[in-house]
């Protein structure tokens, strides 16, 4: 490794603009003649839109236009789509209800837009919106899974009788039945995976500009995947053909999944910019984020695990109901199915698994992928089940896990995934050592004397990342391929531009990707620029989510670089009059092995562009592209152990220690990787202790601001102890697995297992607030 | 409309704004100082923290008119030319930021924390003091590290003066 190459914790190239206030986020952009949009949103969870009277509002100062849902339907802007087709176990397709960008007739969740005001200033748009009168006829609403599937429940969509979207299953039901028939012990657990709000700190925003002479749109938007946005806006929403639509995602202030999707506001801004022939800007406020950003999780599940007399797992049966909200968001259908049930084998040899997943509509904000997306739900279920089993079987939870670990790779699970590499025992050993697991009993005893209940909780997670082999996901219903593209441009002076289809919104790609170049070509990272987030610059890309950027996007860069190197070697051998096979690249120089002859990269680059002296028949220039389609998912895995104390008088939880031992394969920038883990852990701990999106029975959100929805703050958390065990990923040349979601996937179960260990009862749901913990203690007593 | 006169990052400015204009709006929209961010609408997140007469204040809680005559410093005003403020440098060196959105408010709050505690800070105090600033990316681990690092850098810098 060089000082800036693979494995070096170099400080981030992108930081200077952020720490000096020079970041450029969508809301920072102003265009000439720009107008401002303010949406009129339904205060009801379920209602008919009877009439919209905007006559008085139109006369308000600064109003440029007021546009309604009926107009967007009349203009044939397409309905929002779900891009992953799931088939129910009876063979019928999923039942997708229509979702217009603004509701012409029926609103189905609080916050759904019915109209938009466009005005000269933001305040004028808001003022005029107050003067628009919307008559609603309220309809009965359902806000939770159990109410939605009751006979006689209010119905959301005529397409989906009983509010059921699909009833899907995976695995071998008969084999599982046999496994349970011969079980020595069966462990059962019912649990809820609480609904979360992603809450990236930058609220969503969009600016749309229409050039009527060119019939061309430009959209600045807060997106994790601008090319996917362009594709969907063009192919499905009829906004403009792709060559007439440029999508730019500049600095984006966090995503966590919530900025994958193409939202109604972006569609309306584009459509409206053509209507009013002026640029239209919309910046969401936090309240709108709570109401309209896709939420995460929201499952209720029943799980049963069969063990033989030696405590080896025989089988697993899971039935899950998942709430997808009022409409099917872009990838919502894949989250509780192929990103969830396929991970139910966890780190364990489970000979037979069967999972049934029923998704339902409710009058709530749509639910889609949020950091981890399906995999946290699988990991939480499995790791709480293992802990429950250990207590029921009266064995050490760590040892029960170890006994059932998969230890031979590759390993084909009964639920599609084929794990390529791992060493689960090594991660568990590292975590147990870091927390001094052996000394816990003594610490617990000491805490008891001080009136505190101390607990320890283990969570061994695995995730499928590096999403994803296109052919595989295509066969499972995905509407897109999930490869990535890259372009490596060596400029005539030897500086390098990398154009990537990945998008960085906090992940530090400008540094990590530059390190790949430093490693291979010996070029300082200051000489490398990473270009992303603009469909006019980058050839194509599928974006950043699912911990895919280094495994898929990084590999695409390596593939393009290999082509550049091959050409550069040809040029160098020609200039040095040496055999091509004798050229090696060292520290930015092309050397003839065994001689002192060499030529520096800038001279090779210059020769490529002057083209005065190139090998016969060679094209000028030094720039190559690659599309890389992975052959498998990657499988980051690890062990988290949490130690905490509960105050029995108040139910309040205090952390003592939290250790994470992760296997992400090769680390490019360990500092950045650890930062990703810290953030993920905070979100997993937030889910376990603090966060919950709550609706009342009528579908009114009661946690729609930071005053009501508890975001983790600095004093809710602790400094984490991280370590790494490494098995290289055999599926890509970098040996990398991805690290973005691990913390959020593994942390929740470790925390809840620790609390239930401390209080001696297993009946506890997330978020484990002091109130809930106190009641759990007293219910058990 | 009112005319508000104040000093921002050492420069006297005079701005005509609607009376309901918040200080953060004046900074972002009238002065194009877009380093100060808006992350919520309930004064919870702290992305908009600036210094008013040397004290950290959420600029979404202050009407522009209330800042008349005040000396306001934003994230754009704390470096000395190319020389970063020690807090900025500490955030970079300790990977105290990821998406960068909460960062300006964090840095402005953190400088005030160090000033108020005279550089005598421990982890628990920093965590408690950062209660008014929300970050969704870092889990605060490296932010706390950055603030503690900056506290010692600022102490050294002060001693040298």
Distances (CA, A) of A764 to A26, A302, A396, A459, B80: 42, 14, 20, 16, 53
**Between vectors from CA B149 to CA B151 and to CA A640, what angle results, nearest 5°?**
130
Of B74, B131, B139, the CB nearest to A678: B139
Token code pair at residue B119: 């550089």
Of B103, B124, B144, the CB nearest to A19: B103
Residues B71 and B93 in one domain: no
Residues B67 and B128 in one domain: no
Token code pair at residue A344: 């139910």
Asked which of B43, B77, B111 is the last residue of a domain, the reply is: B77
pLDDT band of A560, cuts 50, 70, 90: very high
Strands A528-531 and A496-500: parallel
Give the rounded percent of residues in chain A with a pLDDT score beyond 90: 99
Rounded Cα gap, residues A252 and A220, in angstroms = 11
Dihedral of alpha carbons B98, B99, B100, B103, sign: negative
Q: Which helix H or strand E contains A391, and what residues bound it?
A: helix A375-393
Query: Is the per-residue pLDDT at A189 higher than 80?
Result: yes
Count of residues for chain B? 161
**Omega within 30 of 0 (cis) for the link into B31:** no
Inter-chain residue contact B44 with A706, CB threshold 8 Å: yes
What pLDDT was estimated at residue A514? 98
In terms of CA atoms, which chain A residue is nearest residue B20?
A: A123
Token code pair at residue A616: 């016969």
pLDDT band of A272, cuts 50, 70, 90: very high
Phi, psi (rounded to 5 degrees) for A64:
-100, -35
Rounded Cα gap, residues A27 and A118, in angstroms = 16
On the CB side of A356, how many CA atoms lie within 13 Å of its CA?
Answer: 11
Token code pair at residue A738: 């991805």
Token code pair at residue A640: 């988290």
Same fold, A299-468+632-780 and A483-628: yes
What pLDDT was estimated at residue B108? 98
Q: Give me the CATH number covering residue B27.
A: 3.10.20.30
Inter-chain residue contact B39 with A201, CB threshold 8 Å: yes
Q: What is the mean pLDDT of residues A656-674?
A: 98
Inter-chain residue contact A200 with B79, CB threshold 8 Å: no
Q: What is the mean pLDDT of residues A449-476?
A: 96
Rounded Cα gap, residues B68 and B74, in angstroms = 16
Q: What is the CATH number of domain A19-139+202-253+259-292?
A: 3.90.1170.50
Residues 21-40 of A with CB under 8 A from B: 21-25, 27-28, 30
Inter-chain residue contact B41 with A675, CB threshold 8 Å: no
Rounded Cα gap, residues A77 and A118, in angstroms = 18
Cβ density class A353-370: b for 16+ within 10 Å, e for less: bbbbbbbbbbbbbbbbbb
Strand runs (DSSP E) across A582-674, as ranges?
583-586, 589-592, 598-600, 623-628, 637-646, 653-663
Q: Is A708 on the interface with B (CB under 8 A)?
A: no
Q: Which domain holds residue B21?
A: 2-77
Question: If you count DSSP H runs as helices and E runs as strands, how many of each does chain B have, helices first?
Answer: 5, 5
* Distance, C-alpha A774 to centroid of its chain: 33
Please state which of the four CATH numbers 3.90.1010.10, 3.40.50.620, 3.30.365.10, 3.40.50.1950 is assigned to the domain occupying A299-468+632-780.
3.30.365.10
Inter-chain residue contact A253 with B100, CB threshold 8 Å: yes
Query: Is the per-residue pLDDT at A624 higher than 60?
Result: yes
What pLDDT was estimated at residue A2? 63
Q: Which helix H or strand E contains A682, and what residues bound it?
A: helix A670-689
Domain count, chain B: 2
Mean pLDDT, chain A, rounded, equals 97
What ranges do the domains of chain A cover?
Answer: 19-139+202-253+259-292, 299-468+632-780, 483-628
Inter-chain residue contact A675 with B40, CB threshold 8 Å: no
Which residues lie across from A368 on neighbouring strands? none
What pLDDT was estimated at residue A587? 87
Rounded Cα gap, residues A572 and A581, in angstroms = 11
Distances (CA, A) of A355 to A317, A363, A494: 6, 26, 55
Strands A35-41 and A484-490: unpaired
- Which class is A483-628 in CATH? alpha beta
Are A548 and A589 in contact by the 8 Å Cβ rule? The answer is no
Question: Terminus-to-terminus CA distance in chain A, angstroms?
Answer: 58
Distances (CA, A) of A308 to A178, A182, A393, A696: 12, 8, 11, 44
Dihedral of alpha carbons A83, A89, A91, A97, sign: negative
pLDDT band of A378, cuts 50, 70, 90: very high
What is the DSSP secondary-structure string of A172-195? -HHHHHHHHHT-SEEEEEEEEE--
Q: What is the mean pLDDT of residues B3-19?
A: 98
Q: What is the mean pLDDT of residues A631-643?
A: 97
* Distance, C-alpha A561 to centroid of its chain: 28
Distances (CA, A) of A700 to A63, A327, A364: 30, 16, 8
Are A767 and A692 in contact by the 8 Å Cβ rule? The answer is yes
Read off the DSSP letter of residue B83.
Answer: B
What pLDDT was estimated at residue A661? 98
| Residue tagged 């050039």 (tokens) | A211
Residues 141-160 of A with CB under 8 A from B: none
Neighbouring CB atoms inside 10 A of B138's CB total 28
What is the DSSP secondary-structure string of A250-293? -B----TTTTSSPPHHHHHHHHHHHHHTS-EEEE--HHHHHHHS
Read off the DSSP letter of residue A294.
Answer: -
Query: Is the per-residue pLDDT at A294 higher than 90?
Result: yes
Rounded Cα gap, residues A166 and A94, in angstroms = 5
Q: What is the mean pLDDT of residues A390-396?
A: 98
Cβ density class B2-34: b for 16+ within 10 Å, e for less: eebebebbeeeeebebeeebbbbbbbbbbbebb
- Cβ-Cβ contacts under 8 Å, B47 against chain A: 201
ipTM field? 0.98
**Residues A513-545: tens digit of each pLDDT:** 999 999 999 999 999 999 999 999 999 999 999
Strands A245-248 and A216-221: parallel
- Cβ-Cβ contacts under 8 Å, A714 against chain B: 126-128, 130-131, 133, 135, 140, 143-144
Query: Which one, of B77, B62, B71, B79, lies nearest residue B12 by Cα?
Result: B71
Are B113 and B121 in contact by the 8 Å Cβ rule? The answer is yes
* Distance, C-alpha A99 to centroid of its chain: 23
Cβ density class A141-177: b for 16+ within 10 Å, e for less: bbbbbebbbeeebbbbbeebebbbbbbbbbbbbebbe
Query: Is the per-residue pLDDT at A409 higher than 70?
Result: yes
| Residue tagged 């299953």 (tokens) | A169
Residues B69 and B91 in one domain: no
Q: What is the mean pLDDT of residues A706-731?
A: 98
Residues 207-266 of A with CB under 8 A from B: 251-254, 256
Are B121 and B151 in contact by the 8 Å Cβ rule? The answer is yes
Kindly tell me the burial class for residue B81, based on how many C-beta atoms sit within 10 Å of its own C-beta (0-12, 13-18, 19 or more): exposed
What pLDDT was estimated at residue A130? 98
Distances (CA, A) of A356 to A174, A249, A476, A609: 13, 38, 16, 60
Give the rounded percent of residues in chain B with a pLDDT score beyond 70: 99
Asked which of B77, B94, B116 is the last residue of a domain, the reply is: B77
Inter-chain residue contact A714 with B42, CB threshold 8 Å: no
Rounded Cα gap, residues B68 and B17, in angstroms = 12
Residues B43 and B94 in one domain: no
Rounded Cα gap, residues A512 and A415, in angstroms = 33
pLDDT band of B160, cuts 50, 70, 90: confident
Inter-chain residue contact A678 with B38, CB threshold 8 Å: no
Rounded Cα gap, residues B61 and B48, in angstroms = 9
Rg (CA), chain A: 27
Query: Which one, of A718, A713, A711, lies nearest residue A692 by Cα?
Result: A711
Give the rounded percent of residues in chain A with a pLDDT score beyond 70: 100
What pLDDT was estimated at residue A1? 45
Query: Which one, of A412, A413, A409, A421, lies nearest residue A729 by Cα?
Result: A421
Mean pLDDT, chain B, rounded, equals 96
What pLDDT was estimated at residue B158? 77
What pLDDT was estimated at residue A349? 98
Neighbouring CB atoms inside 10 A of A491's CB total 17
Q: What is the mean pLDDT of residues A367-381?
A: 98
Rounded Cα gap, residues B127 and B60, in angstroms = 22
Q: What is the mean pLDDT of residues A436-459?
A: 98
Asked which of B77, B106, B123 is the last residue of a domain, the reply is: B77
Interface test with B, best of A11, A16, A18 (most B CBs within 10 A): A18
Residues B35 and B73 in one domain: yes
């Amino acid at each position: 490794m060089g000082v800036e190459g693979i494995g070096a914790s170099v400080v981030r190239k992108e930081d200077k603009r952020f720490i000096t206030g020079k970041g450029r986020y969508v809301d920072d952009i102003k265009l000439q003649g720009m107008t401002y949009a303010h949406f009129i949103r339904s205060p009801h969870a379920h209602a008919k839109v009877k009439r919209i009277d905007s006559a008085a509002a139109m006369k308000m100062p600064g109003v440029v236009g007021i546009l309604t849902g009926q107009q967007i339907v009349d203009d044939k802007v397409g309905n929002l789509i779900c891009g992953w087709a799931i088939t129910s176990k009876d063979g019928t397709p999923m039942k997708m209800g229509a979702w217009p960008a603004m509701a012409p007739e029926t609103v189905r969740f609080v916050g759904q837009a019915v109209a938009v005001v466009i005005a000269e200033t933001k305040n004028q748009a808001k003022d005029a919106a107050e003067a628009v009168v919307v008559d609603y006829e309220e309809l009965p609403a359902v806000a939770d899974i159990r109410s939605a599937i009751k006979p006689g429940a209010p119905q959301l969509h005529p397409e989906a009788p009983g509010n059921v979207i699909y009833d899907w299953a995976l695995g071998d039901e008969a084999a599982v039945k046999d496994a349970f028939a011969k079980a020595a012990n069966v462990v059962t657990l019912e649990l809820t995976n609480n609904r979360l709000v992603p809450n990236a700190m930058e609220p969503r925003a969009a600016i749309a500009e229409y050039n009527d002479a060119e019939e061309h749109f430009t959209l600045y938007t807060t997106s994790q995947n601008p090319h996917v946005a362009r594709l969907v806006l063009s192919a499905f929403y009829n906004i403009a053909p792709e060559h007439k639509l440029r999508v730019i995602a500049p600095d984006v202030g966090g995503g966590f999944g919530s900025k994958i999707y193409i939202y109604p506001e972006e569609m309306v801004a584009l459509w409206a910019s053509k209507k009013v022939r002026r640029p239209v800007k919309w910046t969401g406020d936090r309240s709108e984020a709570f109401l309209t950003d896709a939420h995460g999780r929201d499952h209720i599940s029943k799980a049963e695990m069969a063990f033989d007399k030696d405590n080896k797992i025989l089988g697993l049966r899971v039935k899950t109901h998942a709430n997808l909200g009022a409409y099917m968001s872009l990838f919502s259908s894949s989250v509780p199915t192929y990103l969830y049930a396929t991970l139910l084998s966890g780190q364990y040899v489970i000979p037979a698994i069967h999972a049934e997943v029923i998704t339902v509509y409710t009058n709530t904000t749509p639910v889609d992928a949020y950091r981890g997306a399906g995999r946290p739900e699988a990991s939480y279920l499995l790791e709480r089940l293992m802990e429950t089993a250990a207590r029921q079987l009266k064995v050490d939870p760590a040892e029960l896990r170890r006994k059932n670990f998969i230890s031979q790779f590759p390993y084909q699970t009964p639920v599609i995934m084929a794990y390529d590499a791992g060493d689960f025992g090594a991660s568990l050993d590292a975590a147990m050592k870091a927390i001094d697991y052996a000394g816990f009993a003594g610490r617990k005893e000491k805490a008891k004397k001080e009136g505190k209940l101390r607990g320890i909780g283990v969570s061994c997670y695995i995730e499928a990342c590096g999403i994803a082999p296109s052919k595989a996901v295509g066969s499972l219903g995905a509407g897109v391929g999930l490869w990535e593209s890259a372009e490596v441009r060596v400029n005539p002076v030897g500086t390098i531009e990398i154009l990537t289809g990945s998008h960085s919104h906090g992940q530090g790609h400008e540094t990590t990707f530059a390190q790949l170049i430093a490693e291979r070509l010996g070029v300082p990272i200051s000489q490398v620029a990473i270009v992303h987030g603009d469909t006019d610059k980058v050839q194509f890309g599928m974006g950043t989510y699912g911990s895919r950027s280094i495994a898929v996007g990084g590999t695409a860069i390596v593939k393009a670089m290999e082509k550049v190197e091959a050409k550069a070697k040809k040029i160098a051998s020609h200039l040095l009059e040496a055999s091509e096979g004798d050229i090696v690249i060292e520290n930015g120089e092309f050397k003839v092995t065994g001689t002192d002859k060499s030529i520096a990269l800038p001279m090779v680059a210059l020769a490529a562009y002057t083209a005065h002296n190139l090998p016969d028949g060679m094209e000028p220039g030094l720039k190559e592209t690659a599309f890389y389609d992975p052959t498998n998912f990657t499988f980051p895995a690890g062990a988290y152990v949490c130690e905490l104390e509960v105050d029995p008088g108040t139910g309040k939880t205090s952390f003592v220690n939290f250790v994470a031992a992760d296997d992400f394969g090769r680390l490019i920038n360990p500092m950045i990787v650890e930062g990703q883990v810290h953030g993920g852990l905070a979100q997993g701990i937030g889910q376990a202790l603090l966060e919950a999106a709550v609706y009342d029975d009528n579908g009114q959100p009661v946690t729609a601001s930071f005053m009501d929805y508890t975001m983790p703050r600095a004093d809710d958390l602790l400094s984490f102890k991280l370590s790494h065990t490494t098995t290289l990923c055999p599926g890509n040349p970098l040996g990398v697995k991805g690290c973005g979601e691990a913390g959020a996937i593994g942390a929740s179960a470790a925390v809840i297992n620790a609390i239930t260990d401390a209080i001696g009862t297993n009946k506890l749901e997330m978020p484990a607030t002091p109130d809930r913990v106190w009641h759990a203690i007293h219910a058990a007593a | 409309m009112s005319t508000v006169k104040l000093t921002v990052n050492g420069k006297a400015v005079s701005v005509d704004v609607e009376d309901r204009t918040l200080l953060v709006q004046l900074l972002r929209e009238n002065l194009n100082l877009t380093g100060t961010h808006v992350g919520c609408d309930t004064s919870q997140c702290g992305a908009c923290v600036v210094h008013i007469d040397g004290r950290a204040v959420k600029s979404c809680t202050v009407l522009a008119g209330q800042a008349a005559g005040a000396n306001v410093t934003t994230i754009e005003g704390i470096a000395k030319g190319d020389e970063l403020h020690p807090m900025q440098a500490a955030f970079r060196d300790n990977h105290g930021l990821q998406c960068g959105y909460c960062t300006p408010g964090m840095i402005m709050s953190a400088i005030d924390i160090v000033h108020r505690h005279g550089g005598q800070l421990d982890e628990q105090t920093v965590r408690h003091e950062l209660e008014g600033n929300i970050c969704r990316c870092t889990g605060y681990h490296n932010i706390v590290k950055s603030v503690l690092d900056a506290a010692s850098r600022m102490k050294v810098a002060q001693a040298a003066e």
